[in-house]
Amino acid sequence: MRRVAAVPLLGAALLSGLALPTVARAADAQGLVDALRTVAGKPPGVRATFARGQCVRGTYTPSADVGAVTRSISFTRPWPLVGRFSVGGGNPAVPDTARTVLRGFSIKILSDGGDTHLLFENAPVHFARTLDQMLGFLQARAPRADGKPDQEAIASFAKANPETTRQAAFVAAKPLPASYAGIVYWGVHTFTGVSAAGQAVPFKFKVVPAAGELALSDEEARSKPPQFLAAELAERLSRNPVRFDVMALLAEPGDDLAADVTQRWRNEDDRRAVRLGTIAVMAVEPNETCDDGIFDPGQLADGIGAPKDEIFTARRTAYGLSFGLRAK
């Protein structure tokens, strides 16, 4: 296993089992959830995406600088948290050795009377700019009668919608993650903090592992079992907590704060960031703890304003719908 120095870097999905429609229709959260499940083969009792994962518990500890970004009770005091590391897609059998599949990290900061839920992924952009584009992206990957997607339809959609290729290109350019504990995770959307001084502070979340980025060579990856990440994490936690710095990547004049989540900010890797605090993952938690509810992206304590882009707005409804389906 080789260690890659931690550098600034930050979800993926999939849709309908039908051919591309001859009449355009507006996408909504229900249609997206249905499509995600269809592409994955509609496995019962699992999430529409990030179906397989490992629940964990830990703590959040604020930094001395947090007030420059937010006055939120969730971030300005120490709290316990519940988290879930995961592998992208709606198929729980997706192998950890699939290099181009997203990795996710969701957390609930259990701040009494004002919990905050956050969703992070190992790419800095989403794979679609709008809900309709997301629908089209997934429909292009719909299985045909033989159970396989039409590669010509995928290529045609990508040519007409080049921004939908950015997330996949970012993930494909990275080596295979060796551990959930060695991944840089991103928030993708632009949040707005209210600082201790009452000022609005637009920013993006970035979660940076204390261990640096941990990656496998192609040769090392071939020796791994299909699902190794949960076992690797449990073994690592038996020795020491796993720590991450929670960073706020600050907006600059001219940044797009509400629209295109397939685009990074200019010079994003080099701009100023404030450390909000530290996550310490202490132990593996039974998956039922995470599966009995959702990580609700709209659950934000006062002092953190929700992103304004339509992808984020749809996430809250979609997560609730997905929970209802898997709870049946």
pLDDT in tens, 178-199: 999 999 999 999 999 999 999 9
First to last CA, the chain: 42
Domains of the chain: 2-10+53-128+164-308 (2.40.180.10)
Asked if residue 52 has pLDDT above 60, the reply is: yes
What's the rounded Cα separation, in Å, for the pair 161 and 146?
26
What's the rounded Cα separation, in Å, for the pair 283 and 109?
16
14 against 183, higher pLDDT: 183
Mean pLDDT of the chain: 88
- Residue 319 marked as a ligand binder: yes
What's the rounded Cα separation, in Å, for the pair 49 and 12?
8
Q: Please tell me what DSSP assigns to residue 172.
A: H
pLDDT of residue 16: 32
Between the CA of residue 66 and those of 62, 81, 194, 196, 238, what are the distances in Å? 7, 18, 11, 9, 30
Instruction: Tell me the pTM.
Output: 0.87
Confidence of residue 5 (pLDDT cuts 50, 70, 90): very low
Over the stretch 120-142, which tens digit does the pLDDT of each residue have? Answer: 999 999 999 999 998 899 888 88
Taking the CB of residue 177, how many other CB atoms lie within 10 A of it? 23
